[in-house]
Amino acid sequence: MVEQEALDRVFGALSDPTRRAMLRRLAAAERTVGELAEPFDMSFAAAAKHVKVLEEAGLLSRTIEGRSHRCRIEAGPLAQADRWLAFYQRFWSARLDDLETALLRHAGKKRSRK
């Protein structure tokens, strides 16, 4: 149950496009909350709320240096979400393979009728 709650927090955090963009920027380098807020039309306080959601989901860690809060991506929860999604990747791959087989069979029947 604890694992499911962690996944719920991760997917909840990832449901927002601003937070996804912040994580993408953190994948390149550590950034301050102010640096994470720069590309967006939002206040520092709004950016800090997004950072808090990411932090609570375990997707980033924050180090406080004086008044500066440096953020760093934490990949563990993303790996956990990726493992969960891998099941559905196999599911869709199998369904698409079945569709391809059916379409090829159908195309073969059309050619044999001519």
The pLDDT tens digits of the residues spanning 68-107 come to 999 999 999 999 998 888 888 877 777 777 788 888 888 7
The number of folded domains in the chain is: 1
Q: What is the CATH number of the domain that holds 31?
A: 1.10.10.10
Q: Is the pLDDT of residue 1 over 90?
A: no
Domain that holds residue 14: 2-113
The answer to whether 76 touches 58, Cβ cutoff 8 Å, is yes
Q: What token pair was written down for 97? A: 């393979």
The pLDDT tens digits of the residues spanning 12-67 come to 999 999 999 999 999 999 999 999 999 999 999 999 999 999 999 999 999 998 99
Please give the Cα distance from 78 to 98 (Å, whole number).
30
Beta carbons within 10 angstroms of residue 22's beta carbon: 28
**φ and ψ at 107, to 5 degrees?**
-65, -40
